[in-house]
Amino acid sequence: MADLMQDAGIMCLKPCADPDSAYESIPASGFELTMSEAGAGSHGKRRPQPGLPPPRVQMLETVLDELAEPISVIDADYRVNYMNRAARELFSHNTDFLGLSLCHQISHRRSTPCSGVDHPCPVTRVRETGCSVRVLHEHYDGQGAKRVVEIIASPLRGRDEDFCGIIESQRDVTARERANEKIKRYAVELERSNRLKDLFIDIMRHDLLSPAGVIRSAAALGLRDETDALKREDLDMIHRSSQRMIELIQNASALAKLESEGQLPLEPTDIEAMIMAAARDLGPDAEEKGIRLTITGGFAGSVPANPLLASVFSNLIGNAVKYSPENSEILIAIAREDRGCRISVTDRGEGIPDPAKEKIFTRFTRLHKGVVKGTGLGLAIAKRIVELHEGRVWVEDAPGGGSVFLVQLACA
């Protein structure tokens, strides 16, 4: 097509040193440029140059008209001398005005040429750089709708190498730009809500936790000295409520922190020892309910883990104790797998109905409201911690009744 254009005397693209330019340059020799003639004739039909075979010019015009991209030829004085069919249709431009209308009148509906950072004028930029340039503009189409377009403009030169205008093609990037705008706005909102969340966590940790701790200590002191039964009941209620408030604040801030955490430092850990320690700590609670804790299996390997993983086992074993009937058994098993290990905690409690099996791992989902105390955050925290270990935690029905909570972890 470059040859054809050269033959038609329409343009030449100057070789360009711009590394960003995606356009191949075409040597600027051996033909005469006739900007005044390019498209200046009536009905957008360019008059062929003397001596040039008219069929070739017609062929070139047919080719340009077949292109889906709007293409225009603009001279150094901003006159639009040529528009292919796509450009004429885009701007609903009457071909009689070709060579008379100015580019900023057609696409920007203004009387002065484009300027500034937002709308750099392609004619000026190409004249200054001598290279192909790529700019984003907001145009009005023929119906008056605003469109964001990417313009690629290249210099046109005469035989004497004088700059005499540009040839530009346009690509409608409105959808892309609007999507980018949306993403940018979303990122700003996200940043703002993250800052708010951090502020809220700080307030919880520093400004709510200490007064709650003071209330709990005062209630504990009162309980120690008070002999009146009614007052003791009130103090006990204050003590339990403040204890619950403290747990909630601690859990909620831990979860918020974990949710924004991208990864945790992991180090080879004796997972069996970690589980044994968690079970030992919960021994007194189990004993109180007459529950027998049994640990089976012999994994004897190490797992890349963070100390926070211990709280996952404390939560699962603690829940098993909380939600198991008195005098039942809890079985903790550690088994080696192909590329890791699997830990299971089986209880003889009520079990978890199928529709709730995933939900209980989301925050504030509690199936036993009022019956057993809790915050509804323990499993959500456990899930996040396991995810940060690239592992998996889930629940199944235990054969014979109850539930089995399982954790799958990769080995070192």
Q: Which residues bind ligand ADP (CB under 6 A)?
A: 315, 319-320, 323, 347, 349-350, 352, 360, 365-368, 374-380, 403
- Rounded CA separation 48/10 (Å): 10
Name the nearest CA neighbour of 214 among 186, 247, 242: 242
Please check whether residue 65 is in contact with residue 84, taking contact to mean a CB–CB distance below 8 angstroms.
Answer: yes
Upper half-sphere CA count for residue 12 (Cβ side, 13 Å): 23
Least distance (Å) between residue 380 CB and ligand ADP: 6
Of the pair 16, 291, the CB lying nearest ligand ADP is at: 291
Give Cα separations from 29 to 14, 48, 49, 197, 234 (angstroms).
10, 19, 17, 65, 99
Least distance (Å) between residue 347 CB and ligand ADP: 5
Contacts 24+ apart (CB under 8 A), 110-116: 113/78
Of the pair 60, 398, the CB lying nearest ligand ADP is at: 398
Of the pair 122, 374, the CB lying nearest ligand ADP is at: 374
Least distance (Å) between residue 304 CB and ligand ADP: 25
3-state DSSP: the chain helix, strand, coil percent, rounded to 5? 45, 20, 35
Least distance (Å) between residue 301 CB and ligand ADP: 26
Of the pair 303, 320, the CB lying nearest ligand ADP is at: 320
Least distance (Å) between residue 323 CB and ligand ADP: 3
Least distance (Å) between residue 375 CB and ligand ADP: 4
The residues pairing with 166 across neighbouring beta strands, listed in sequence order, are 74, 155
- Rounded CA separation 411/226 (Å): 54
Of the pair 297, 376, the CB lying nearest ligand ADP is at: 376
Least distance (Å) between residue 118 CB and ligand ADP: 52
DSSP helix/strand/coil, 14: coil
- Rounded CA separation 197/255 (Å): 12
Please check whether residue 347 is in contact with residue 291, taking contact to mean a CB–CB distance below 8 angstroms.
Answer: no
Please check whether residue 326 is in contact with residue 365, taking contact to mean a CB–CB distance below 8 angstroms.
Answer: no
Using Cβ positions, the residue closest to ligand ADP within the complex turns out to be 374
**Helix (H) or strand (E) run with residue 222 in it:** helix 209-225
* 263 alpha-carbon distance from chain centroid: 17
Of the pair 12, 316, the CB lying nearest ligand ADP is at: 316
Least distance (Å) between residue 232 CB and ligand ADP: 27
Of the pair 171, 366, the CB lying nearest ligand ADP is at: 366
Of the pair 215, 367, the CB lying nearest ligand ADP is at: 367
